[in-house]
Amino acid sequence: MKRGIETGLHSGGAILSLFAEADLDDLHNATLEVLERGGVLVEDDEAIDLYADAGCWVDRETHMVRIPPDPVARALLSARRSFVLAGRDPAHDVMVEVGRVTVCPFAEGFMVNDLETGKYRSSVLQDVIDIARISDALEDIDINVCGVTARDVPEAVAELRQLEMMLHHTAKPWMMPMTSKVMAEFGIAMGAAVAGGHDKLRERPLFTYSACPVGLMHLTASATEVNIACARSGVPYACVSMGMAGASSPVTLAGTLVVQNAELLSSLVLHQKVEPGAPFYFGSSTCGFETRRAAAAVGTTECGLIQAGTALMGNYYNIPSWTGGYQTDSKACDCQTGHEKTLTGLLAMLAGASTICGPGMLETGVTFDVAQLVADAEIVAMTKHVRRGIPVNDRTTFVDEIISVGAGNEFLSSKSTLKGARSLSQTKLIDRQVREAWEAAGSPDYYEQAKKEARRILAEHEIEPLPADVAQEVRAIVEGAEVH
């Protein structure tokens, strides 16, 4: 079982301090007020019925659902503090929990930079496979994803084809955006075929579905359908709010967190009503809206702070959080990319998000670049290293040794130095050579090195294939769905 890197709820490590306890209480109380007096707009009638049963005030004409504090409190009480995302290979099982950080690549782009030609083009099913296989090989990527949309297959069946490829091409658990009840249920059937039955899938869910409420406090039919399907099947639901400060939510970050919180808590109320204790990710991909350019921007300080704020709200509620991070608005692997990915990733990491999603993305999430994914894995490793902080204890302070070495001498030849060297950050792509060595090696470029490594992984990395009968069963479900 893989556990994420520990965060501030445990002793030690570097953690971000962003809010006072009273700030968090204020954000929570403001959300309760918004949910009770403002309410959320819910499209789907089945969802409205469930809200009514849960003790909410529903208006079937306007589809407004107002949620008093007690259903919220009940949902928070039954929500899980941790859940398992199971790998097809149990060595890759991940415990998703409050207080430990894991990382998964970005989901879901629709353009790629072709690894071989460098060409910018629409994403296809083969890209889904390549991203899954590379992520499977990268040690610092804890959870896999369906990284792009397969635009070379009919849109109506794309989700299931993608899902099938994910079942084939990774032994890690993974995450995938899902848009409807029908597709969600077919996918669950496919997962059950691999897991060995619906009960087995519930016990060891191989994937998590994500779906987004659409701001402003608007739960689309698609979002509530996936929410309910997840709760019924035991597949964890990553509820990812996608507000835009200044467009679908107030321009202030605090106001945006309140709106997002209303969307997430109302989704949680529905989810926990269907199945108390069902696994739920308190998620955010909320960002800032650049009014000047009328575009969303994700590589920003604002986005980093919102993600960090989301992680801290998740911790406050004791629900695993899911945030963006390692994201950029840059179109290429350049200085802006390195800066924005480190900025947004480090903020989410130090705030203690349970899962941070973003490596591999360029261009505000439009483009997925597998070389960038490899490059970002190294940034992830460095930020995890920062998260570990500076442990201070008798095994690290070395006072006696400092005194016995004495002033003016050296520690190069100390046994402890040799032994401890492995605890320092190690890099594969990041260049730390002196200039002469760097020039002798042909002045290697980070992105070019990453491309080489991506090609190496694709050529060499092997994943245990699905048993033939299981693969066939999965295929039959996809074909059945395509007829349907």
Partner 1 sequence: MIRGMRAGLRHQGASLNLFSEADVEDLHMATLDVLERAGVLVDADDAVDIFADGGCRVDRETHIVKIPPEVIAKALSTARPQFLLAGRDPKNDVLIAQGRMTVCPFTEGVMVNDVDTGVNRMSTLKDLKDNLRAGDYLSSYDFNTVSVTARDCPEATAEVHHVEAAFANTTKAFMVSMMSTKMAEATFEIGAVVAGGEDKLRERPLFTYGYCPVGPMYLTEICTEVTIACARLGIPACCIAMDMAGATAPITLAGTLIVQNAELLSCLVLNQLVNPGSAFYYGTSTDCFDMRRGSATVGTAELALLQAGTSVMAKYYNLPSWTAGY
Binding residues for partner 1, rule: CB under 8 A, are 8, 11, 14-23, 26, 305, 308, 347, 350, 382-383, 385-386, 389-393, 396-399, 401-403, 405-412, 414, 416-417, 419-421, 423-425, 430, 432-435, 437
- Distance in Å, CB of 396 to partner 1, minimum: 4
Residues 6+ apart with CB under 8 A from 2: 92, 93, 94, 95, 102, 142
Return the closest-CA partner of residue 476 out of 186, 169, 134. Answer: 186
Phi and psi (nearest 5°) for 441? -85, 5
Taking the C-alpha atoms of residue 60 and residue 48, their distance in angstroms, rounded to an integer, is 8
Return the closest-CA partner of residue 447 out of 345, 357, 335, 343. Answer: 335
Instruction: For the chain, give the number of residues.
Output: 484
Contact 40, 215 (CB under 8 A): no
370-388 and 446-460 helices cross at what angle (nearest 10)? 100
Nearer to partner 1, 17 or 117 (CB): 17
- Distance in Å, CB of 39 to partner 1, minimum: 17
Nearer to partner 1, 60 or 339 (CB): 339
Taking the C-alpha atoms of residue 135 and residue 370, their distance in angstroms, rounded to an integer, is 9
> b vs e for 423-456, b when ≥16 Cβ sit within 10 Å of the residue's Cβ?
eeeeeebeeeeeeeeeeeeeeeebbebbbebbbe
Nearer to partner 1, 235 or 311 (CB): 311
- Distance in Å, CB of 7 to partner 1, minimum: 11
Nearer to partner 1, 435 or 484 (CB): 435
* 413 residue type, one letter: S
- Distance in Å, CB of 124 to partner 1, minimum: 36
- Distance in Å, CB of 422 to partner 1, minimum: 9
Nearer to partner 1, 163 or 311 (CB): 311
Nearer to partner 1, 434 or 468 (CB): 434
Nearer to partner 1, 125 or 141 (CB): 141
Which residue's structure tokens are 């792009």?
148
Return the closest-CA partner of residue 102 out of 223, 236, 228. Answer: 236
Structure token digits, residue 306:
């919102």
> What is the Rg, in whole angstroms, of the alpha carbon atoms belonging to the chain?
23
The 8 Å CB, 24+ separation contacts for 289-292 are 289/244, 289/245, 289/246, 289/247, 289/248, 291/246
- Distance in Å, CB of 469 to partner 1, minimum: 47
- Distance in Å, CB of 95 to partner 1, minimum: 24
Nearer to partner 1, 191 or 309 (CB): 309
- Distance in Å, CB of 189 to partner 1, minimum: 44
Nearer to partner 1, 156 or 437 (CB): 437
- Distance in Å, CB of 450 to partner 1, minimum: 16
Q: What is the DSSP letter of 241?
A: E
